[in-house]
Chains A and B, each alone.
Chain A
Amino acid sequence: MSAAVLATDQAAQALGAQSNSYAVVTAGLTKRFGKRLAVDGLDLLIPAGSITGFVGPNGAGKTTTIRMLLGLIRPTAGTGTVLGHPLGHSRAYLPRVGALIEGPTFYPTLSGRENLMVLARLGGLPKSRVEATLERVGLGERGLDPFRTYSLGMRQRLGIAAALLPGPELLVLDEPTNGLDPHGIAEIRAMLRSFADEGMTVFVSSHLLAEIQQICEHLVVIEAGQLLFQGGVEELLAARSPELIVRTENQDDASRLMALVNAAGRTARIVGESAGTTLEIVADCSWAGALNRLAMGHGITLVHLAERRSTLEEAFFEITGSCARAGSVPDGGPPDPPRPPSASGGGGPERQGPDARASSSKARQA
């Protein structure tokens, strides 16, 4: 059974069962704007109570998907449920959903408190929620100041406060750390963690893959409106082959060691760092001792030996195949250089290039 069929089947089953274990389920969710296909048959499964990261290059369809989940955009095709209610009945679930979409937008001349009051009154929420959420995001003392005087970080926090107003079961945050400094990012990260600890389902889109890796247990990757991966972050990273990074004292020893490693059944290659003395070896840290002994036995002195774990950024670029394609690099920073295919023969996530995606429906389910 193909991965795409598997994902669709699971989505359909979850839809049918109205399972409480998923906060969001979609099957074949599609949105077309004229000739442009923004979201293409998306099958989402967002576990309840999880922090799920939603990543993809610019224009991948993340915001369109979020807007469809919030009833702001009508899907062209497909079905889905949010908190057990069909997508078409957003009034049934939106009172239990908080959202920050595409950055915080408020009335500039109103104070933070008044901006929240507008939304609280509209949603029939008590005034006490406004005070509580302002305190929660650390804006209690600046609540009476006009929104236009807020820093970017304060604006983001007010946006999160607005999302928290109804005491949501599902929190949807679109780029909550956009433009924040490291301190602000750390604050938002801690906040998201605390929301999840309270049992909230947090669905967060971001370009900052390192942040996603730190806070999310679950991950959804899309590109060109299509699902490329969804599953546990750890599962994704664990599926990639770990590497040992080794540096020899002499340049000649590097090529000797590479031959020895390859002869031992591992894959090694010299990388262009430190004047050709650095090797990448596909192996986990349990083989580090054997490697050290192997080098010592042949008179090779190692000056550096460390395990390098895959990052989400590397996994992302591998999944999206965006290294070689201009214009699809996310804002999180330049991609790492392409890496050679693993010779270990398995374990790593299957890369789905554009051709593969064009010929099949692509979704991978971890």
Chain B
Amino acid sequence: MILRAFQSEWIKMRRRRLWFGSYGAITGVVLLSTIVTIAGALHHPDRQGDLTLAQLAHASGLSQGLTQSGVLLGAVSFSIAAAQFGGEFAHGTLRNLLVRQPRRWVLMAGKCLAVLTFLVGAAVVAAIFGICAAFVMAHLRGVPTSAWTSGVGMGDLGIALGDLAISACGFAIVGMIFGVLLRSSVIAIAAGLALLLPIETILTDAVPGTVRWLPGQLLEAIAQGGSTGAPFEAAVITVSAYLAGAVAITMLIFLRRDVTA
């Protein structure tokens, strides 16, 4: 039954406009991040933390651009998921779906899987373009790329892609939660992005140590393979706990709430 809901959702996701819009946006974000990261690398660092051309030549250099795109990719993933779920309420199409599939959790699970696979596909496509752009930019900046294609380099790239996919899926699940709870794509996207980006950033700056507790900051840290304020494992565990709780509450509300739209 979940497979049927998944397949049904994919019929909608094959819309050309959604496909080009989403894949285009995510690819654009990764391309931009890759180009800016490599173009901005310095010969000699001005301060601690600056990326240098020498660092780019390491095995992990290929994935530097990808990891920097985590927040923007997350924002796009969040928006797509919020639109997919909130739109069903706002457009009144949810009632048609629930008449054909009265098991609400089945509908929700199938829909969620479809959105996540859609986003993972988008991330893979974007990564392919990002890798191509990285090689072009490396050539332009004179960065040697032999280490990138080594076994270690491929391994680093795989890990970076995995982290990015986990982060994007996390943002998408948060988007789903906002879409279902707020029942409107516009409100969900506006409220969610405001909370995850500026509000969390302000909180992080204002209150030291909060980075390890705020979901948006944690998901960003996951995309980067962990940060000083939020180590990768701790970030994954905390976000998993948050999402499990939030999904359970959202599902409970969705199962019991009247569908009046």
Interface residues of A (CB under 8 A from B): 67, 70-74, 90-91, 94, 97, 99, 101-102, 105-107, 109-110, 114, 117-119, 121-124, 162, 165-166
Cα A101 to Cα B97 with chains together (Å): 12
CB nearest neighbor in A for B14:
A114
Complex Cα–Cα for A334 and B193 (A): 50
Complex interface: chain B residues within 8 A of A122 (CB): 4-5, 8, 97, 100-101, 107
CB neighbours of B107 from chain A (8 A) = 122
CA distance A114 to B201 in the complex (A): 42
Q: Are A74 and B99 in contact (CB under 8 A)?
A: no
Query: A71 and B102: CB pair below 8 A?
Result: yes
Chain B 138-170 per-residue mask, 1 if CB under 8 angstroms from chain A, else 0: 000000000000000000000000000000000
B44: chain A residues within 8 A (beta carbon): none
Interface residues of B in 213-261 (CB under 8 A from A): 256, 258-260
Known: A74-B256, A121-B4. A110 touches B99 (CB 8 A): no
Within 8 A of A (CB), among B94-116: 95-103, 107
A-B pairs with beta carbons under 8 Å apart, 26 shown: A67-B95, A72-B98, A72-B99, A73-B260, A74-B256, A74-B258, A90-B102, A91-B103, A94-B100, A101-B99, A102-B92, A106-B96, A107-B12, A109-B15, A110-B11, A110-B15, A114-B11, A119-B96, A119-B100, A121-B8, A122-B100, A123-B101, A124-B1, A162-B96, A165-B100, A166-B100
- Total inter-chain residue pairs, C-beta < 8 Å: 80
Q: Is the CB of A121 within 8 A of B11?
A: yes
Q: Is B93 among interface residues, defined by CB-CB distance under 8 A? A: yes
Main secondary structure of the interface of B (DSSP, over half): helix
**Distance of B241 from chain A, by nearest CB (Å):** 30
The range of chain B's interface size is 20 to 34
A353-B91 Cα distance, complex, nearest whole Å: 38
Q: A89 to B15: give the CA distance in the assembly, Å.
A: 34
Q: Which residues from chain A contact B47 at a C-beta distance below 8 Å?
A: none
One of B7, B16, B95, B99 near A121 (C-beta < 8 A): B7
Residues in A neighbouring B100, C-beta threshold 8 A: 94, 119, 122-123, 165-166
Chain B residue contacts of A117, Cβ below 8 A: 8, 11
Contact of A106 among B5, B8, B93 (CB under 8 A): B93
Give the residues in chain A near B259, CB-CB below 8 Å: 67, 72-73
Highest count of chain B CB atoms <10 Å: which of A70, A71, A106, A122 = A122
Q: Indicate whether A72 sits within 8 Å of B96 (C-beta atoms), given known contacts A118-B8, A121-B4, A122-B4.
A: no
Could you tell me the distance in whole angstroms from the C-beta of B173 to the nearest C-beta in chain A?
Answer: 22
Q: Mark B60-95, 1 if CB is under 8 A from A, else 0.
A: 000000000000000000000000000000011101
Return B95 CB to nearest CB of chain A, in Å.
Answer: 5
- Report the minimum CB–CB distance from A139 to chain B (whole Å): 16
A101 in contact with B15 (CB, 8 Å): no
Q: How far in angstroms is the closest Cβ of chain A from B80?
A: 15
Taking the nearest CB of chain A, how far is it from the CB of B3, in angstroms?
10
Which B residues, 122 to 140, have Cβ-Cβ distances below 8 Å to chain A?
none
Which residues from B are CB-within-8-Å of A102? 92, 95
Q: Are B258 and A72 in contact (CB under 8 A)?
A: yes
* Inter-chain pairs besides A121-B8, A122-B100, 9 sampled, C-beta below 8 Å: A67-B259, A102-B92, A105-B93, A110-B15, A118-B12, A119-B100, A121-B4, A122-B8, A166-B100
- Closest residue of chain B to A105, judged by CB? B92
Nearest residue in A to B5 (C-beta to C-beta)?
A122
- By a CB distance below 8 angstroms, the chain A residues around B93 are 105-107
Q: Find the A residue at minimum CB distance from B257.
A: A74
Distance in angstroms between the alpha carbons of A91 and B8 in the assembled complex: 18
Q: Tell me, in angstroms, the Cα distance from A69 to B225 when the chains sit together.
A: 51
- Which residues of the partner chain B approach A67 to less than 8 Å between Cβ atoms? 95, 258-260
> What distance in Å separates the Cβ of B184 from its nearest Cβ neighbour in chain A?
15
Q: Report the minimum CB–CB distance from B185 to chain A (whole Å).
A: 13
Question: CA of A91 to CA of B103 in the docked complex: distance in angstroms?
Answer: 7
> Are A71 and B98 also in contact (CB < 8 A) when A109-B15, A118-B11 are?
yes
Q: A74, A91, A118 — which one has the most chain B CB atoms within 10 A of its CB? A: A118
> Which of B12, B100, B102, B256: most chain A Cβ within 10 A?
B100
Q: Please name all residues of chain A whose beta carbon is closer than 8 Å to the beta carbon of B260 when the two chains form the complex.
A: 67, 72-73
Q: Are A109 and B17 in contact (CB under 8 A)?
A: yes
Closest residue of B by beta carbon distance from A146 = B15
Partner of B99, one of A99, A107, A109, A118: A99
Shortest Cβ-Cβ A-B pairs, 5 listed? A123-B100, A105-B92, A122-B8, A121-B8, A72-B259
Task: Chain B residues near A70: list those with CB within 8 A.
Answer: 95, 98-99
